[in-house]
Amino acid sequence: MTFILNEDLIDYNLKKKINIYKIITIAIVLIISIILIKFKPAYAVTLGEEEIGYIGNRTEFQEEIDNNILNTNKENIAFVALDNVSYSFEFVDRSLINEEKVMDKVKENAQNIYFVYEVSSGNDENAVYVNSLEEAKSLVETLKKNYSEVEDDLKITTLYLENQISEEEIKEAKAKISQSLDAKLEEKKQRDKRTVNGIYLASLPLTGGTISSRYGSVEGVRDHVHGGLDLAASYGTPIKAVADGVVKTAGKTGGYGNLVVIDHGNGVETYYGHCSSINVTVGTEVKAGETIAKVGSTGNSTGNHLHFEIRINGSSVNPQKYIY
């Protein structure tokens, strides 16, 4: 009897236990179901330092970044700058997963970096920036062709910029460099014109003054062909050295009156005659534009003027070939 009773008791306890397990299992299943309905395995996406949202499929998401954002074939893009994208696995509320929104944030962060080409030269401070190497090369060719006399150091530098250069900016820069090189060309022409046997006449012998007798004329009191250029100016007007040199003569002479002769080297000498006074002595080193004497009417002269003469290896040449 006791035995049977005991067996019943065991059976009863077992059944009770099994029921508890069933309830627990059902409860767990219910809880998991609820969790799975509301939550989903996902990836939190971090861009740089900032978490920007949740996505479901990491592989697809990264492929889209690689193919559509980073691997662009757009012309002249050097590369795309993008902060580091990282993923971490999480269970999140389904409603938080929004791949489109996260992708938009990645797109916003992506910065195209363009190739920009700088055309510049050592002879000019202006530079032109263009968007393609072909355009840069063509510009160099044009500038070389048009400005070969003043431009020999053109170079192309590749730069990486966040923006391309607008047509308007290119046009403006081209105009600016052309203008600048035109001015240099003109300056060089002037300089070449004012260069006597390699000696550049940086200064005029007088400020103001008017031509009263030209080189080669035979007129008035003269019994010989005029070997210089006469510049009428008021008494005391400063007379300037036309180029750097060393004073060779400084003093009273016959026909020239008070005369200064400057030796500029290369066989080039300049004469300044009829001076009222002289500021230099033989051996004085003078700079172009430096006052060496003052206008007067000494020697064979009928009025205040400067007799200016240029000689190359002892022979006078027409000063107006170089100045005035």
41 vs 303 by CB, closer to Zn ion: 303
260-265's contacts with Cβ under 8 Å and 24+ in sequence apart are 260/292, 260/293, 262/286, 262/292, 264/196, 264/199, 265/199
Least distance to Zn ion from the beta carbon of 221, Å?
10
Residues 231-270 that bind Zn ion (CB under 5 A): none
- In whole angstroms, the minimum distance from the beta carbon of 296 to Zn ion comes to 13
Is 236 or 255 the residue whose CB approaches Zn ion more closely? 255
CB of 320 to Zn ion, least distance (A): 13
Q: From the CB of 272, what's the least distance to Zn ion, in Å?
A: 11
CB nearer to Zn ion: pick between 103 and 261: 261
CB 291, min distance to Zn ion, A:
20
Closest to Zn ion by CB, 99 vs 309, is 309
**Binding track over 175-214 against Zn ion, x by CB under 5 A:** ----------------------------------------
Position 307 contacts Zn ion (CB under 5 A): yes
CB of 212 to Zn ion, least distance (A): 8
Cβ 306 to Zn ion shortest distance, Å: 8
End-to-end CA distance of the chain: 149
Select the span of 9-17, 60-68, 229-237, 259-267 touching Zn ion (CB under 5 A). 229-237
For residue 289, what are the contacts with CB-CB under 8 A and spacing of at least 6? 202, 203, 240, 241
99 part of the interface to Zn ion, by CB under 5 A: no
For residues 264 and 307, which CB has a smaller minimum distance to Zn ion in the complex? 307
Q: Could you tell me which stretch among 51-59, 106-114, 191-199, 230-238 binds Zn ion (CB under 5 A)?
A: 230-238
**For residue 225, how far is the Cα from the chain centroid?**
55
- The correct pick among 99, 151, 230, 290 for binding Zn ion (CB under 5 A) is 230
Q: SS3 for the chain, per residue?
A: CHHHHHHHHHHHHHHHHHHHHHHHHHHHHHHHHHHHHHEEEEEEEEECCEEEEEECCHHHHHHHHHHHHHCCCCCCEEEEECCCEEEEEEEEEHHHECHHHHHHHHHHHCEEEEEEEEEEECCEEEEEEECCHHHHHHHHHHHHHHCCCCCCCEEEEEEEECCCCCHHHHHHHHHHHHHHHHHHHHHHHHHHHCEECCEECCCCCCCCCEEEECCCCCCCCCCCCCCCEEEECCCCCEEECCCCEEEEEEEECCCCCEEEEEEEECCEEEEEEEEEEECCCCCCEECCCCEEEEEECCCCCCCCEEEEEEEECCEEECHHHCCC
Q: At its nearest, how many Å lie between Zn ion and the CB of residue 167?
A: 59
Nearer to Zn ion, 228 or 319 (CB): 228
CA separation for the pair 58, 174 (Å, rounded): 49
> Which residue, judged by CB position, is nearest to Zn ion in the bound state?
307
Q: Which range touches Zn ion (CB under 5 A), out of 28-36, 45-53, 190-198, 301-309?
A: 301-309
Per-residue x/- marks for Zn ion, 209-228, CB under 5 A? -------------------x
Among the residue ranges 1-9, 214-222, 234-242, 307-315, the one whose residues contact Zn ion (CB under 5 A) = 307-315
Whichever of 45 and 293 has its CB closer to Zn ion, that residue is 293
Q: Which residues in this chain contact Zn ion in the complex, by CB under 5 A?
A: 228, 230, 307
